[in-house]
Amino acid sequence: MNRSQAAVRVAVVDDHPVFRIGMVALLRSMDGIDVVGQASNLEEALAVAREHRPDVVIMDLDLGSDSGVEATREILRTDPDIGILVVTMFGDDDSLFASIRAGARGYLLKGAAPDDVERAVRAVANGEMLLGPQVASRAATYISGTRTRGGVVFPELTDREREVVDLVARGYDNATIARRLVLSSKTVRNYVYGVLVKLDVPDRAQLIVRAREAGLGDSGES
């Protein structure tokens, strides 16, 4: 098949070989789409993004011991022009919102029809946001809420650190926070330690107090 110079260049990141191979074969059957790389973990994904600079990266969220959300964030930190299209089995709000916060422009559930995949790839390549029908309404509500939210508490923290503090203030342990944000427990521990240093707070208990006084978390949750 002849590829035009304007072909959409795509990389596929998924740790399940059968799905990855199938997705690559599907994309290669589409006119004007060129698969330039594959990866199965975070390190490989970053290498593919650096070497090939694809227009779109199709990203799974569960990369074994790695997180697709972290991979998304790292890729976009290096090259914010790359469009990330999440294709995952996870349809829950936590996975969806974590992906959007990390900068993903598209979100489909595995099992999406080939036409939906093609439409999403082309939309993300054009800088648009395209979300599968199963998650679109929830994502729109979330995005609308973030745009109308008031002033930012703890401005010295990054957005991710603030998210972690909010969940700490709700009383969640590191393992639960890791699941909700699709991160490793080690990464969450590092975030909590960094927050304690930045806010000059001696321990987790005092952090919860400070966070709830600032309006984060929900004191009604245990």
What pLDDT, in 10s, does the model give residues 144-184? Answer: 555 444 556 787 788 788 889 999 999 999 999 999 888 88
- The CA distance from 205 to 209, in Å, is 7
Give the mean pLDDT of 79-106: 87
Instruction: Give ∠ CA 101-190-139 in degrees, rounded to 5.
Output: 15
Least confident of 106-115, 119-128, 144-153: 144-153
| Percent with pLDDT over 90 in the chain | 52
Determine, yes or no, domain membership for 221. Answer: no
- What tokens were used for 195? 């927050």
Domain-embedded: residue 122: yes
175 in the same domain as 111: no
Q: Which residue range is the domain that position 168 belongs to? A: 159-213
pLDDT of residue 108: 93
Is 6's pLDDT higher than 70? yes
Same domain, 92 and 164: no
Residue 86 has pLDDT above 80, yes or no: yes
Q: Given pLDDT bands bounded at 50, 70 and 90, which one contains residue 2?
A: very low
Is there a single domain that holds both residue 58 and residue 124?
A: yes
Within a domain: 200? yes
Say how many domains are in the chain: 2
Whether the per-residue pLDDT at 3 is higher than 70: the answer is no
CA atoms of 118 and 114, how far apart (whole Å): 6
Q: Quote the Cα angle for 88-92-95, to 5°.
A: 60
Q: Which residues have C-beta within 8 Å of that of residue 155, sequence separation ≥ 6?
A: none
Question: Helices H, strands E: what count in the chain?
Answer: 10, 8
22 lies in the same domain as 67: yes
Tell me: do 176 and 197 sit in the same domain.
yes
pLDDT tens for residues 53-74? 999 999 999 898 888 989 999 9
- Neighbouring CB atoms inside 10 A of 209's CB total 12
pTM of the model: 0.65
